[in-house]
Amino acid sequence: MTYSAAIHCSFMKATKKDLPAVNALIQDSKASWGYAPELLALWREGLTIRESHLSERELYKGLTPDGLICCVYSFSKTTDGVFELEDCFVEPRFLGLGLGHQIMADLFARLNELGAKKVIIVADPNAVGFYRKYGANQVGTYPSIPEGRQLPVLEIEMHEKG
């Protein structure tokens, strides 16, 4: 099936049986930015969600009406009222169909239920503009690989989302 118009996805918790599909989606999504294969290989380990991560973060998969995993996101609690968006990826064939907005709406709804005050995001530089649409401001940088690469650290105040 080809998707060319906005679609609605439903979110549910991902399980360990979803990890192969989730990890394939993450790798494909990262590659869609046009990064060199050498960089993608360097980042593969850090982009892989393992079974042990499921006890450390909340992982959600977005499903199309016909049951395909079209996007994923995860978050973890860092301190009282502060959460980190750990993963946020859309399957490349679904880019531009409104799924990023649906991820953020679902994330904000869940975090509001948990009493979140703030969301921290260590973002891919290509995604900063997307997060700015949701009120994100850069508050720092985080060292990455290869050596010398810095990732923007963004912050979203949740009071704006309530």
What residue segments make up the domains of the chain, in order of their start?
11-161
The pLDDT value recorded for residue 58 is: 97
pTM: 0.92
Q: What is the pLDDT of residues 58-68, one digit of tens each?
A: 999 999 999 99
What average pLDDT does the segment 44-73 reach? Answer: 95
The pLDDT value recorded for residue 84 is: 98
The pLDDT value recorded for residue 6 is: 77
Measured in whole angstroms, how far is the alpha carbon of residue 81 from the centre of its chain?
Answer: 19
Give the CATH fold of the 11-161 domain. Answer: Aminopeptidase (3.40.630)
Tell whether omega for the bond before 37 is within 30 degrees of 0, i.e. cis: no
User: Which band of pLDDT confidence, cut at 50, 70 and 90, is reported for residue 98?
Assistant: very high
User: Which band of pLDDT confidence, cut at 50, 70 and 90, is reported for residue 160?
Assistant: low
Handedness of CA 95, 105, 111, 143 (dihedral sign): positive
Classify residue 34 as left (phi > 0), alpha (psi -120 to 50) or beta: left
